[in-house]
Amino acid sequence: MTLNGKKIGFGITASFCTLPEIIEPMRALADAGADIYPVVSNEVFANSSRFHDRDEFLDTLGEIAGRDAMATIAEAETFGPQNPMDIMIIAPASGNTIAKMAHGIWDTPVLLAAKATLRNGTPVLIALFTNDALGLNGVNIMKLYNAKNVYFVPFGQDDPQKKPTSMNADLAQLVDAALQALEGKQIQPVLI
């Protein structure tokens, strides 16, 4: 399996400190020949943070993908039968996004794109970044882990002493995890 010619939805949610880190994995997907369709959450579209400048970030996404990021629910809805993706990646997937997805709440562009992808029977790959993975959000992660066509980029604790409930995905494994998900497999080990 290769990524050449694969249509990849790439959802980006508001784990602002992680936004600069997802640029290289997205670029690696594009360099492997994937056709990238970026989708940003409302918060990512509307705000800069101390970690990124909104306009520069959106420009970089457009440069990598060759198209502007989708930023509305109406645009994301096209991932259904009209413009199906081979895979939808959510990176970073915030705790809020994970909780909503686990409970069938599809009220942002990224979540609606994920819903449309799942409706088409194709995989959604989650790269989680949440301070609450080993807290109340743990149940949501496990619910998604057992859901059909939902896969995870391997993840582990990022700072067990100062943030004992926080976990982050290993973005260095995102491309390999996507290749496995496209074959209907969860890359292992998922917990690192």
Interval 72-98 mean pLDDT: 95
Which residues contact residue 108 at a Cβ distance below 8 angstroms, ignoring those fewer than 6 apart?
A: 13, 41, 42, 73, 97, 100
Helix H segments across 20-108?
23-31, 42-46, 54-65, 73-76, 95-102
Q: Average pLDDT of the chain?
A: 95
The answer to whether residues 166 and 156 touch, using CB atoms and an 8 Å cutoff, is no
Cα distances (Å, whole numbers) of residue 88 to 38, 39, 134, 149: 10, 10, 25, 10
Residue 103 is predicted with a pLDDT of: 97
Nearest-Å Rg of the Cα atoms of the chain is 15
In this prediction, residue 14 has a pLDDT band, given cuts at 50, 70 and 90, of confident
Question: Does residue 137 register a pLDDT over 90?
Answer: yes
pTM above 0.85, yes or no: yes
Question: Does residue 49 register a pLDDT over 90?
Answer: no
Residue 16 is predicted with a pLDDT of: 79
The H-or-E segment that residue 178 falls in is helix 174-182
**Residue 95, CA atoms < 13 Å, CB-side half-sphere:** 14
